[in-house]
């Protein structure tokens, strides 16, 4: 039976965690490669045993299924990380989009105009006419 696990990690830990999860497949890969090679050799033996062949193929298929599932899960994690990175690049920091409060004094209006340019002055803040 398979269950879904989830846990949290800091954003800078996502790629190392994904690498760790991928690395946990090393033994399964090695076992699969060994079994694959043995199965080919067994097919070429004069004393071929079909039952052994079927057993080995089933183990190989299960291993490949584990590898496929883990790769899919890691791919989903990386896709989410990529979405986060894109959103971060596309969303300007707050200090680049200041939301200025409406000024109530001439001094505040002049200060804002000096910082942001004349287009920042509203009709309510216009200088004496």
Which residue did the predictor score with more confidence, 55 or 100? 55
Q: Please tell me whether residues 53 and 98 are part of one structural domain.
A: no
Q: Please tell me whether residues 59 and 42 are part of one structural domain.
A: yes
In a domain, 129, yes or no: no
Which residue did the predictor score with more confidence, 84 or 113? 84
DSSP three-state, residue 98: coil
Angle between helices 50-90 and 14-23 (to 10 degrees): 170
Tokens at residue 124, please?
């309510």
Q: Please tell me whether residues 76 and 48 are part of one structural domain.
A: yes
Q: What are phi and psi of 101, to 5 degrees?
A: -75, 150
Its sign, for the CA torsion 86, 22, 70, 8, is negative
Q: Determine the pLDDT at residue 100.
A: 45
pLDDT tens for residues 3-62?
Answer: 888 888 899 999 999 999 999 999 999 999 999 999 999 999 999 999 999 999 999 999
Which pTM value belongs to this model?
Answer: 0.64
- Which residues, 6+ apart, have CB-to-CB distance to 81 below 8 Å? 11, 14, 15, 18
In a domain, 115, yes or no: yes
């Amino acid at each position: 039976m398979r269950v879904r696990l989830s846990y949290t990690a800091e954003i800078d830990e996502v790629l190392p965690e994904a690498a760790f999860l991928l690395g946990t497949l090393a033994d399964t890969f090695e076992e699969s490669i060994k079994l694959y090679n043995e199965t080919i050799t067994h097919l070429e033996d004069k004393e071929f045993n079909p039952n052994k062949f079927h057993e080995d193929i089933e183990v190989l298929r299960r291993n490949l299924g584990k590898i496929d599932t883990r790769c899919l899960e890691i791919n989903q994690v990386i896709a989410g990380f990529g979405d986060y990175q894109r959103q971060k690049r596309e969303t300007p920091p707050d200090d680049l989009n200041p939301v200025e409060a409406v000024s109530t004094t001439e001094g505040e209006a002049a200060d804002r105009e000096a910082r942001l340019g004349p287009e920042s002055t509203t009709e309510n803040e216009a200088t004496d006419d």
